Amino acid sequence: MSEDQPILQVKEVTKAFGGILALNRISFDVHEGDVLGIIGPNGSGKTTVVNCITGFIKMSSGKVYFRGKDISGKPPHKIADMGVTRTFQIMRPYYSLPAYKNLVIPLFSPRAKRTGGWRGGGKLGDRNTVGIDILEEIGFERDSYVPYKTASTLPTGYLKRLELARCLALKPEVILCDEVFSGLSMSEIASMVPLIERLQMDGITVVMIEHRLRELFRVANRVLVMNFGEKLIEGTPDEVMANEKVKEAYFGSEDVEEVMTHA
C-alpha cells in the first residue's frame, strides 16, 4: 500500500431512489488524519453518501474503497468491523437502556475484542467500567447520575455525544458524523468542537456533515460541497468560502462572511 493512498475512496457512486437521483456519480477521497467537512443544501445527498459508504443502503453503481480494499456492498456490521463507523442524523440509541449500557453492546463486538476497544492495547476488562470511561471522555460527568440514566430521558446534547461514544467503543479508524451539532445550543456546540479536535489528535479520520458552517470550518481541513447529488467543489475552507459557485448554490446571493457570522 502506498503511503499516500487515501483511507477512503468514493468512486463514481450513484444512488437512485425510484426516479430521484440522490447521488450522481460522486467521487472523492478522504486522507488519513483528515477532518473532511461535507456541506450542501437540504436533500443534496449528504446522508445518502454516508449511507452508501457505511453499507446502510445499497448503491446503484460505483465503488467505495477503504485502505484500497473494495467495501462496496458489504453489510454495515462488516464495514464497522473494519473500523469505518458513523453517527446518525436521527439518533439511534437503545432508548430503553442506561447510557453506559449502550456502549457495553459494541464493547462485546469482535472488533472491540480484537483491538482492546477504545484506547486499545490489552484486555478490555469490565465492559461496564469501560463504557463509563468512554462516556466520561466524551463529556458525561462520571460522578453524576447521567451515565446511568435511561437513554430515552437524555437531552439531545448527551444523545449526540452518545452517538460518538458508540463509535469510539469500536476503536474506529474513521468516524462519519451526520450533523452532530444540529439541535444543540451554541454553548453545547462550543463544547463539542474540542471533542472533534481530540478525535483527530487521536489519529481518527473524521468526515463531518454539517450545516453549522462556522464551527465546521474551524475543525475541517478540507470541505466538499454537494449540490443535487454531485460534487460542486472541494478544497480548503478558505477556497470553498471564496468560490463563486458555492456562494450562488449554497448561500444564494448572501455574502458568505455574513452567513458564517450568523451560522
Ligand X SMILES: Nc1ncnc2c1ncn2[C@@H]1O[C@H](COP(=O)(O)OP(=O)(O)OP(=O)(O)O)[C@@H](O)[C@H]1O
The distance of closest approach from Cβ of residue 53 to ligand X in the complex, given in angstroms and rounded to an integer, is 12
* Residue placing its CB nearer to ligand X in the complex, 128 or 182: 182
DSSP 3-state of 79: helix
Q: Which does 62 bind (CB under 5 to 8 A by kind): Mg ion, ligand X, none?
A: none
Integer Cα distance of 188 and 120 in angstroms: 28
C-beta of residue 221 within 8 angstroms of C-beta of residue 243 = no
Of the pair 45, 172, the CB lying nearest ligand X is at: 45
Question: Taking the complex as a whole, how short is the minimal distance between the CB of residue 24 and ligand X, in angstroms?
Answer: 11
Of the listed pieces 81-89, 111-119, 215-223, 227-235, which binds Mg ion according to CB under 5 A?
A: 81-89
CB of 184 to Mg ion, least distance (A): 16
Q: Which does 22 bind (CB under 5 to 8 A by kind): Mg ion, ligand X, none?
A: ligand X
CB of 5 to ligand X, least distance (A): 27
Complex with Mg ion: residue 151 or 226, whichever CB lies closer: 226
CA–CA separation, 147 and 222 (whole Å): 34
Q: What is the DSSP letter of 147?
A: G
Nearer CB in complex with ligand X: 44/102: 44
Q: Which is nearer to ligand X, 42 or 96 (CB)?
A: 42
Sign of CA dihedral 154, 158, 159, 162: negative
Residue 76: name its binding partner from Mg ion, ligand X, none (Cβ under 5 to 8 Å by kind). none
- What DSSP element (H or E) covers 199? helix 186-201
Distances (CA, A) of 21 to 28, 61, 227, 230: 18, 12, 12, 10
Contact call for residues 25 and 75 (beta carbons, < 8 A)? no
Binding site for ligand X (CB under 6 A): 17, 20, 22, 40, 42-48, 89
Shortest distance (Å) from residue 214 CB to ligand X: 17
Q: Is there binding between residue 47 and Mg ion (CB under 5 A)?
A: yes
Residue 219: name the closest of 191, 194, 247 by CA: 194
Report the nearest approach of Mg ion to the CB of residue 36 (Å).
16
Nearer residue to Mg ion within complex by CB, 27 or 89 = 89
Interaction partner, residue 40 (ligand X, Mg ion, none; CB < 5-8 Å by kind): ligand X
Residue 247 CA: distances (Å) to CA of 89, 195, 243, 252: 25, 29, 6, 6
Q: Is 106:112 a contact under the CB 8 Å cutoff?
A: yes
Q: Which residues bind Mg ion (CB under 5 A)?
A: 46-47, 89
